[in-house]
Structure 1
Amino acid sequence: MNDSDEDSRRFSWQTAQQRAAQGDSRQVADLALELTDRIETVAKRKREHEHQLAMLVRVLAIAPGPDSLTQLLRLFTRNQGPGAGLAPRFVASLLAEHREAADLVGPLSEHDPKGRWDELRICLLHELILRDVDVDAFVKTRDWTRVLYGGHPLAWLPRHRSALETRVSFPSRSVNSSARSVGVTLPTEGRVDPPTPRTGEQSALIDSATLELHHMIIAAPEAGRWGDSEAWVFRTDEEVEPDRVPALLPTLPMGCVEGLGATGRFEIARRPADAIWSLLFATASMGGMYHRGAHGAYGRFWAWKSLAALSDAPAGASPEEVEHHARRTTWFHFESDAEWFHNDSFTDYGIAALSPDRRRIAVLAATDTD
């Protein structure tokens, strides 16, 4: 059936009412089914076009020389605005991977009165910062955030790469292929596995995580579209020494250790704060097996937010305050054979954080198998 005024009349609400009133409900349903088929066809075609657009954008972003960049920016000036294949965070990630900062700053600093490059600029800024580019050396980059981004979430991030951000992993992409790190593995160094058999007695501590805090703790795996993630927060009446945490965690009322028993595999290691940030960043930025993630700029943002919530940083804390808090927190990385985890290669992990006052234990569990 062709798209025409006649089609519109056939599918009009008034016509449907008339047919139904005449007892011709079957024809109304047939028209509805026909329209459903048309919608599915259009949606499939749209997905195909978006995939083709993404491939063409990748070619322009990766191709060397100034003209390909000029043509790529031209796409962002179209009146209808960027489509799915022109997601600014995706394009910024590609540009930062394949081009020198000096070649990007000039063209992207040109006059853009309608602000169509705004999101691309701020995403690119943080992609460059993560790659340890001194953006202050490029005076024009200050204009990318000075006026337009007072309320933008990425404006909260530090303008220089923090000492927590030294273990940064990026995907490696060409026109026809992509590669990334193999995933999550528990390190051999810092292992503090509790002896088995462990106690079978469950702790009396109660999860106190609010809905808001829960969402902030799992922000990184949510941003990376991992299969599932959960969070718990336990507060204690007395200080908990770090050496007690490995044996305490399997006894807590958490789904990620439920049914583990006294001898099920529970492996755990103490980790520095920068290793935890790196794990959260990789989770958010590169995503799970079936999703390409939030990319560098937003991956950076959500890694910081998860870190802040896990370490009990005050609400509204600056990145500097979050870093100070995170460095005083005792961090653990663990794996478990409990049923909640699927234990496929490199797709499960748990993080536990003992707060600086040693009276709060926060836990994040993530799995990329839903």
Structure 2
Amino acid sequence: MTDTNEDEATRQELLKTMISEEIGRAMQASIPHLAQEVESHVLEVVESMMASKMDELKGMINVMQEKKGTRKCTYKEFMACNPLPFKGEIDPIACQRWIASTEAVFIRSHCEKEDQVMFATGLLQLRAKDWWDVYSKELGEEKVQVLTWQEFKEPFLKYHCPQSAIDKIQEDFLHLRQKDETIDEITNVFLDKLKFCKDIAGTERMKINRYYGMLKAEYREFIIPAKCETLNELIDLARDREIEIRRQAERGEKRVSENVSSSIPSKKPKFQDQSKKDKAKGSIPKCKTCGKLHTGECLKGKKGCYNCGQEGHPYYRCPNPSRTCYNCFQPGHIKAECPKLQQKTDKEARKEEAPRAKGRMFQITTEEAKDHPNVVSGVKEESSSQVKQQGDQDRGKSHV
């Protein structure tokens, strides 16, 4: 029995030894695999932690950016963008220009919607300020505080852009013609009025035709509007033509049409002057046969003298020449002896004669001359006899 127990104990010890060795060998074989599993698990945990931290950081950055972007705009920052003031002109063009400028400042300054009306009304001056004071009192303080920009624009445009002013702009747009303006100047006027003429020139083709009809003839002659698809193309062609006209003016060139037009009016004064000359020669009509002015029977085509009608001598050798005045067309005298011309000459001479100044003489006695302080005596004192003789000759009078 004792030997049996010892053998059993020995077998158990051997079994335990074998089991521990097997376990040791199994653990040694599984250590690399376990290490890989642990490493992979650790990496997963680290990656998840890093991803969560990155998400947290991104969220913090977004919050900071949102806070920075949503920072409330101050009135000082709004005015730093140089918005245009408005003085209350009843002019749709100026009113629309102010609206567009103010809305652009809203975007640049990141102005809050609830502050837009308050900031914009600070730009109103003179009559516009008076209108806002009255209108804001009608609305009340509470309504003004929550008034939006769109709600402000409606009554503002209704007051400062009445329909009568818009009708006037449309009428001026229809009669708009280029005079002495440059292409850029007339284009600015055209585009300003075009904003209120969508019914008249709503399509691009209507704009092109209207702009082309507004230009001067020297531009229309070299531009074909049908080849332009947009208004900007037509404006560019007009600018190119303007540059060419300036170059021609610098070179001293003139267009053929200008030369022709300048020569046509020159004939009109000549015709008028000729009619005046015909009227000045008298009421004698021109002869239909010879085309000259004369009275009596026309002797053109007949043989003989034009003066007496007899043959044998020409009119310049006529023994009995008829003397006829070319001024009054009366026989018996020539133009140099015309009494009408002499009367005119005498009248003109009398008008040209200037009135002659008449001299005046004053006489005073010797005693008055001696007593008067303004009289200077020019008689030299000689002998008393000479003085007496001179006084007798003057009979006691002195000429001054």
Larger relative contact order (Cα-Cα within 8 Å, sequence gap ≥ 6): 1
Normalising to structure 1: TM-score of the pair? 0.20
Flag the structure with higher strand content: 1
Normalising to structure 2: TM-score of the pair? 0.19
Say which one has the larger Rg.
Answer: 2
Flag the structure with higher helix content: 2
